[in-house]
Chain A
Amino acid sequence: MSVRINPDPAPDLLAAIALNRQAQSTALQQISTGRIVNRLSDNPAAASQDVLNHVQSNQDDQFLQNNSFLQSQAASTDSTLSSVVTAVTQAISLGVEGANGTLSDANRQAVAEQVSGIRDQVLGLANQTFQGNYLFAGTATSTQPFVLDATQPDGVKYNGNTNVNSIQISSGQSIQINLPGSQIFTNPAGDVLGALNGLITALQTNTGLPAANTNLDQAFTEFTTQRVFYGNALKQLQSSQTSLNSDKLQLATQENTLVGVDLATSITNLEQASTATNAILSATNQILSTLNLLNYLK
């Protein structure tokens, strides 16, 4: 006796149709979203890694935004300091001119006036702000850092502090982004503002001019040494910008590998599922409408 088989093929046919419809829908979703992982359960490990990837990418975006702000700030600082260099260079020439013994008192006074103008210009530059914050006040950015004060030995009072800020410029990398103003403009190793004040007094009184000039030279050297810091910071920021951009590119590639769809595969899957569905539908039609023996009983 032959083995009896299930006389009702409908449930199997329906299951096969459902399976292929699901494969069609999955392939369609993959093609339309461009992602192979559309639910966490599609690939929990990839979905979880994707979270970290997104966080890193968002962080990079923020770092890039910060970087652009910091570069503007560093550029503005550098340009301010460059103006100081021009001004002090001019003051040095004037000092040399003032030290020339052939100069009349009136002319020396005039030179003193000019140097005084330069000192005010440098003072103004030392009190420069960027977006409302004093650039050279340490972290006391809301306080005007430098004021002329005759009671001070160098004639200048520093109202800022000696604190500095560091900024994270990429994941795990921080740099210091400012120097306290006192380190730049009133450094004991070379006090630019003090030396300018000294030169003015020397010119006005015609005493100690060579020493005042030497002081200014020394202060200028110290100033340019300190200035290098900002140039370096700017370079670091630029290099970090480049590496952040390449990191973002790598993250995008990684994301594509993790959850991106291989269009060729998905389209092939869609084709296969569609062909299979059509085949099953036509088979279903044939099987269910096939005449059985009862139809022959006439």
Chain B
Amino acid sequence: MGSLFATLGITLGAMEADRGAVEITSNNIANVNTTGYSREQVNLSENAPVEIGNILFGTGVTLGQTTSVRDNLLEQRLDQENQSASQLNSFLGAMSQVQSLFNETAGSGLQSPLSAFFNSLTQLSTDPSNSSYREGVLTAGQNLASALRQDSSNLQALQGNTDLSVVQSVNQVNQLTQQIASLNVQVSGLESIGKDPGAFLDQRTQLVRQLSGLIDISETSAGNGSLTIATTSGAVLVDGSQSFELSTQVNPNTTYHDVFSNGVDITPNITGGSLGGSIQARDQAIPGVLNQLDTLGYNLETSFNTQSRAGFDANGTAGVNFFTQPASAAGAASSIAVAISDPNLVAASSDGTVGSNGNALALANLQNQAIVSGQTPINYYSNLVFQVGNQVSQAQSEQTAVGLVQQQLTDQRGAVSGVSLDEEAVNLIRYQSAYEASANVVNVVNQLLTTTINMTQ
């Protein structure tokens, strides 16, 4: 049978364990609103018994290492969805601006200058000698050219802004990978001595979440608590204590920054995170719209110039180019301009007399001819409007879907790792009661000891 002092020892141990448990509970309560915090669990374990005589006596309780409650698979799923969400956010940020350039519903876009230009020619055809109608054609042509140039330059500016965010995102990636690598060291260090690296794991999980918002990543556990992170296309970003920087370099062909990992251009392989969204907008979506504008501008200029040269101006001389003739479609929209400044040079006549409207009519009729990639200029433009709207609309639908998944996963994560104040309150009561009970045991042992001591007097 054990001694009263042994009982006191058990009680002391229990009181210490309960005090520790209250501390852990209070830490959970303190972090109830901390983003990324995973609740910690109290691990109480029974001490090994001692054999006295033939009887085994328990020796009390020990407070073991705390365990952070987290589901790594869930965290990875959240990272994946975060990649998609950030990619869509960043893509939509750029494309919403593209969309607003062609927002015909709000009156911006090319429909109005295109219509006005062709209408000015229809008007000129009613009275080709009318100098104010001729002036009207020049002005409408200049307005159309200016609208095309403006759209083209706005798109290029947008591309430039998106390029800036590519560079900024790469810098952020590098900062994060450095921090993650150093946290890897701390996590694996603590794990190797059997301690719970909960706080560091929480920090690392948060940083990985931020990283997944910037670039598409795949995570693999290195086994010792450290995490290996690579882009989904395989460029290693973090390996144990080492981080590998991404770099940017201006591509002389595009004048925008390409992203390199260990000297290899990985730009086209980046598909997720805000970097993926920016690159998609900068290298695919915006250039697509720019190309269409160039095609529209180039074909308008070419067809219009050809028809102009087939006619005669108000002075009876052969018509000249109405627009400056670009060498090729590339960049046509950004350079389109009306080549003539004298309204009399508008080639409205088909027979050299000022009263002939044949060529004005032919010029006006270009709007009904398939002169732009097999379509009329207006149909081509309305397709462009559809495509831009559709790209944004599709991305928005995906964004909504990803948002819902993210919300569900966040709920699931909360269900696993979130701090419940009710739970913590119950625990607090349990540990408080246990502590009080142990204190009472001390009291009882004290009385027993007093009784024992008094027996000897």
Contacts and interface: CB of A to CB of B under 8 A. Distances in A.
A168 B355 contact: no
B129 interface: yes
Contacts of B355: 133-134, 137-142, 165
B288 to A, nearest CB: 15
B398 interface: no
B415 A59 contact: no
A61 to B, nearest CB: 8
Given A4-B416, A6-B418, A168 B122 contact: yes
B47 to A, nearest CB: 27
Contacts of B287: none
A171 to B, nearest CB: 8
Interface stretch (A41-49, A116-124, A244-252): A41-49
A101 interface: no
- Residue among A35, A41, A131, A141 with the most chain B CB within 10 A? A41
Contact of A40 (B102, B122, B123, B413): B102
Contacts of A140: 353-355
Given A4-B416, A54-B111, A11 B392 contact: no
Interface in B379-421: 379, 381-383, 385-390, 392-393, 396, 403, 407, 410-416, 418-421
B105 to A, nearest CB: 5
B356 A45 contact: no
A69 B320 CA distance: 29
A8 B122 contact: no
Nearest to B358: A165
A126 to B, nearest CB: 16
Given A39-B99, A40-B388, A58-B115, A141 B354 contact: yes
A167 B105 contact: no
Contact of B119 (A15, A52, A59): A59
A62 B364 CA distance: 12
Contacts of A40: 99, 102-105, 385-386, 388-389, 392-393
Contacts of B353: 138-143, 161, 163
Contact of B365 (A3, A42, A168): A168
A139 B383 contact: no
B378 A41 contact: no
A183 to B, nearest CB: 15
A214 to B, nearest CB: 35
Contacts, number: 197
A296 B378 CA distance: 71
B245 interface: no
Given A66-B122, A66-B123, A141-B355, A5 B415 contact: yes
B421 A132 contact: no
Contacts of A150: none
Contacts of A63: 122
A124 B99 CA distance: 60
A47 B418 contact: no
B127 interface: yes
Contacts of B16: none
A167 B357 contact: yes
Given A4-B415, A140-B353, A50 B104 contact: yes
Contact of A294 (B119, B364, B424): B424
Contacts of B127: 69, 131, 133
Contacts of A167: 125-126, 357, 361
A26 B392 CA distance: 17
B407 A35 contact: no
A292 interface: yes
Contact of A55 (B32, B114, B356, B383): B114
B48 interface: no
Interface in A1-28: 3-8, 11-12, 15
A131 B351 CA distance: 21
Interface string B120-150: 0011011111100000000000000000000
Contacts of A165: 125, 128, 355-358
Contact of A297 (B357, B385, B419, B428): B428
A188 B177 CA distance: 96
B421 A7 contact: yes
Interface residues of B, number: 72
A5 B419 CA distance: 11
Contacts of B356: 139, 163, 165
Contacts of B351: 139, 161, 163
A37 B106 CA distance: 10
A41 B100 CA distance: 10
A287 interface: no
A256 interface: no
A142 B155 CA distance: 47
B116 interface: yes
B349 interface: yes
Contacts of B421: 7, 292-294
A55 B106 contact: no
B105 A12 contact: no
Contacts of A8: 32, 414, 418
Contacts of B393: 40-44
A70 interface: yes
A178 to B, nearest CB: 9
Contacts of A172: 368
A133 B353 CA distance: 12
B426 interface: yes
B168 to A, nearest CB: 26
Contact of B99 (A6, A41, A54): A41
A297 B429 contact: yes
A7 B422 contact: yes
Nearest to A60: B119
Contacts of A51: 104, 109, 111, 378, 381-382, 385
A65 interface: yes
Contacts of B382: 48-49, 51-52
A297 B22 CA distance: 14
A259 interface: yes
Contacts of A4: 415-416, 420
Contacts of A102: none
B125 to A, nearest CB: 6
Contacts of B157: none
A262 to B, nearest CB: 16
7 contacts: A54-B104, A62-B123, A66-B122, A163-B353, A165-B357, A166-B357, A297-B425
Given A44-B386, A296-B425, 17 more contacts: A4-B416, A5-B411, A6-B412, A8-B418, A35-B105, A39-B392, A40-B392, A44-B387, A44-B392, A45-B386, A52-B382, A54-B104, A138-B355, A143-B353, A161-B353, A163-B351, A168-B361
Please name the 6 residue pairs, one residue from A and one from B, whose CB atoms are nearest each other, closest first. Answer: A141-B355, A40-B389, A44-B389, A6-B414, A293-B425, A7-B420
